[in-house]
DNA sequence: CCACTAAACGATATTTTGGT
DNA sequence: ACCAAAATATCGTTTAGTGG
């Protein structure tokens, strides 16, 4: 990461700046001209070749400029771009939105933060709940609908409420149902999907002998409720901001693309999409 | 003398232009 | 609409100049 000397860093920074604005590969000459680093394009060319060897840049094809690689963006973000202080106004916006949802469920909070981030940056923002945010059982409620039908409601800390009905082969009285309900909550509340292992399951199973029917139905429901969140819902805000940036100067590109296509090309494109 | 810089050259890929 | 030639952009390498 820090195997970059001062000059390489300058060049990398200039190149990425340029690329962010133009979304076109950036050549050595462009950098020499536009950024006045006091060195010639040839020197920059050499440095760029080094940077490419080191994996910070990529070349779409020979005789094109370079574009930053993921690794290049990484150092840009980590060390090169510098940071700006937030304005008071921006800080207020963040504070307010936090206050408005702080009591809420975590998915509302994430959604709100996604919105704020998009509003502050004018970028399209996608947020995915990280793996560590495993959902956890908050409450289980069994509700008797009639003698043979029970509604199972599972609430997780993500406020995901999953209700499913269970059909029994023989009736159950409400006292017994209550007991089972309590056992389930006792044993499972606060546990994440990973923590509900075989040991716990068999423990619960032993405690509710005679009503394995309910139990057997409950497990998949639990699993589904927790899994739902673990799949990592994606929060998306500001999708229209995509149009603000050159890489996706979509209207122009789309126009170009469409005029480029005649029927034959269109057909070919459609067919080749299949293969990929 | 060596390391480094920059100019010059040749090669290659893309884009534009112009004729059919 | 299509193709080929010309113009353009960029690279990598070689070569010459320069300061320590």
Average pLDDT of A246-257?
48
For A197-240, write each residue's pLDDT tens digit: 777 888 887 877 777 777 788 888 877 777 665 556 677 887 77
- The reply to whether A57 and A194 lie within a common domain is no
- The reply to whether A266 and A146 lie within a common domain is no
pLDDT tier at A246, thresholds 50, 70, 90: low
Determine the pLDDT at residue A253. Answer: 46
* Chain C footprint positions (protein CB, under 7 Å): 1-2, 9-14
Q: Assign 3-class secondary structure to A168-209.
A: CCCCCCHHHHHHHHHHHHHHHCCCECCCCCHHHHHHHHHHCC
Q: Write out the two tokens for A119.
A: 């509003």
**Residues A81, A79: Cα–Cα separation, whole Å:** 6
- In this prediction, what percent of chain A has a pLDDT beyond 90? 0
Task: Provide, in whole angstroms, the distance separating residue A177's CA from nucleotide B5's C1'.
Answer: 85
Determine the pLDDT at residue A65. Answer: 78
For A8-18, write each residue's pLDDT tens digit: 888 888 888 88
- The reply to whether A64 and A189 lie within a common domain is no
Determine the pLDDT at residue A272. Answer: 42
A146, pLDDT greater than 80: yes
**C1'-nearest nucleotide to the CA of A45:** C11
Task: Provide, in whole angstroms, the distance separating residue A273's CA from nucleotide B3's C1'.
Answer: 53
The answer to whether A151 CB is within 7 Å of strand C is no
Determine the pLDDT at residue A276. Answer: 31
**Residues A184, A177: Cα–Cα separation, whole Å:** 11
Determine the pLDDT at residue A131. Answer: 55
Q: Is residue A92 part of a domain?
A: yes
Query: Would you say A60 and A67 are in contact if contact means Cβ atoms under 8 Å apart?
Result: yes
**Residues A125, A262: Cα–Cα separation, whole Å:** 35
Which residue has its C-alpha nearest to nucleotide B4's C1'?
A43
Range in A55-69, A161-175, A220-234, A243-257 with the lowest mean pLDDT? A243-257
Beta bridge partners of A162: A154
Tell me the three state secondary structure of residue A148.
coil
Range in A29-33, A117-121, A264-268 with the lowest mean pLDDT? A264-268
List of residues 6+ apart from A18 with CB closer than 8 A? A26, A30, A31, A34, A35
More confident residue, A183 or A196: A183
- The reply to whether A169 and A248 lie within a common domain is no
Task: Provide, in whole angstroms, the distance separating residue A71's CA from nucleotide B11's C1'.
Answer: 30
For A72-99, write each residue's pLDDT tens digit: 888 888 887 777 788 888 888 888 888 8
Domain count, chain A: 3
* Chain B footprint positions (protein CB, under 7 Å): 5-8, 11-14
Q: In terms of C-beta density within 10 A (0-12 exposed, 13-18 middle, 19 or more buried), how is residue A75 classed?
A: buried
Q: In terms of C-beta density within 10 A (0-12 exposed, 13-18 middle, 19 or more buried), how is residue A54 classed?
A: middle
**Residues A8, A33: Cα–Cα separation, whole Å:** 17
Q: Is residue A1 part of a domain?
A: no
Among A80, A105, A122, the domain-final residue is: A80
Task: Provide, in whole angstroms, the distance separating residue A30's CA from nucleotide B16's C1'.
Answer: 20
Angle made by CA atoms A105, A110, A111, in degrees to the nearest 5: 100
A270, pLDDT greater than 80: no
Task: Provide, in whole angstroms, the distance separating residue A262's CA from nucleotide C4's C1'.
Answer: 21
- The reply to whether A167 and A245 lie within a common domain is no
DSSP string, A200-251: HHHHHHHHTTT-HHHHHHHHHHHHHHHHHHHTT-EEEE-GGGGGGSGGG-HH
The answer to whether A259 CB is within 7 Å of strand B is no
List alpha helices for A36-78, DSSP H. 41-53, 70-75
The answer to whether A267 CB is within 7 Å of strand C is no
Domain range for A217: 137-226
- The reply to whether A127 and A260 lie within a common domain is yes
Task: Provide, in whole angstroms, the distance separating residue A32's CA from nucleotide B10's C1'.
Answer: 22
Among chain A residues 31-70, those with CB within 7 Å of any atom of strand B? 38-43, 46, 61-64
The answer to whether A46 CB is within 7 Å of strand C is yes
Determine the pLDDT at residue A158. Answer: 67
- The reply to whether A28 and A48 lie within a common domain is yes
- The reply to whether A220 and A261 lie within a common domain is no
pLDDT tier at A257, thresholds 50, 70, 90: very low
**C1'-nearest nucleotide to the CA of A46:** C12
Task: Provide, in whole angstroms, the distance separating residue A26's CA from nucleotide B13's C1'.
Answer: 15
**Residues A91, A86: Cα–Cα separation, whole Å:** 6
Q: Write out the two tokens for A149.
A: 């039908």
């Amino acid at each position: 990461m820090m195997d970059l000397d001062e000059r390489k860093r300058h060049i990398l920074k200039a190149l990425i700046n340029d690329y962010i604005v133009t979304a076109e590969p950036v050549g050595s000459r462009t950098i020499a001209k536009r950024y006045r680093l006091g060195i010639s394009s040839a020197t920059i060319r050499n440095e760029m070749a080094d940077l490419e060897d080191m994996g910070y840049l990529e070349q779409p094809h020979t005789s094109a400029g370079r574009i930053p690689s993921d690794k290049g963006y990484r150092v840009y973000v980590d060390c090169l771009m510098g940071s700006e202080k937030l304005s008071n106004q921006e800080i207020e916006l963040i504070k307010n939105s936090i206050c408005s949802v702080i009591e809420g469920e975590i998915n509302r909070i994430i959604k709100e933060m996604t919105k704020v981030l998009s509003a502050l940056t004018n970028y399209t923002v996608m947020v995915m709940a990280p793996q560590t945010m495993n959902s956890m059982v908050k409450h289980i409620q069994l509700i008797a609908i009639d003698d043979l039908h029970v509604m199972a409601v599972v609430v997780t800390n993500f406020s995901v409420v999953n209700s499913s009905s269970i059909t029994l082969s023989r009736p159950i009285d409400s006292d017994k149902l209550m007991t089972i309900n309590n056992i389930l909550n006792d044993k499972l509340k606060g546990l994440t999907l990973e923590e509900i292992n075989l040991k716990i399951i068999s423990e619960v199973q032993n405690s509710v002998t005679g009503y394995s029917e309910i139990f057997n139905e409950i497990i998949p429901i639990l699993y589904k409720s927790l899994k739902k969140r673990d799949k990592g819902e994606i929060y998306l805000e500001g999708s229209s901001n995509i149009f603000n940036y050159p890489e996706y100067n979509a209207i122009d590109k789309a126009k170009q693309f469409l005029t480029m296509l005649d029927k034959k090309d269109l057909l070919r494109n459609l067919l080749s999409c299949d293969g990929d």
